[in-house]
Amino acid sequence: MRGRLRMLAVMAALIAAGLSGAGTAAALDLRDLPKTPGPEPCPSKGPGFVRLPGSGGCIRISGRVTAGADLGAGHGVAAAPAVAGRLAIDNRADTDLGEVRTYLRIGTGRR
């Protein structure tokens, strides 16, 4: 019993020392931070495309997730979960030879 009380006293002392040594937090003025441009819309390539800062290309990232339960999976009581998803990345850039398109689609599941 004395060992527990001593351990609690040591823990309380450590917490008190940590709280007292925290000091005051300095305020951050957001106006002093450098401004970085965000993504700009790229309507010439289609809906959902944005032009990344410092790049001549436009990119669109899309995807979907579906979930459900397969009730006829087996003879047991529990139902088997059915999860499917897809991620698509479409990148388009204008070059001297015309538009170059890079398309990547990764999918799982039955759909």
Per-10-residue mean pLDDT of the chain, 111 residues long, equals 62 62 65 78 88 84 85 64 86 89 82 50
Q: Give the three-class secondary structure for 107.
A: strand
Nearest to 85 by CA among 63, 68, 61: 63
Give residue 55's pLDDT: 78
Give residue 92's pLDDT: 92
Alpha-helical (H) ranges within 21-82 are none
Give residue 49's pLDDT: 92
Report the distance separating Cα 88 and Cα 102, nearest Å: 11
Q: pTM for this structure?
A: 0.54
φ/ψ of residue 47, rounded to 5: -70, 140
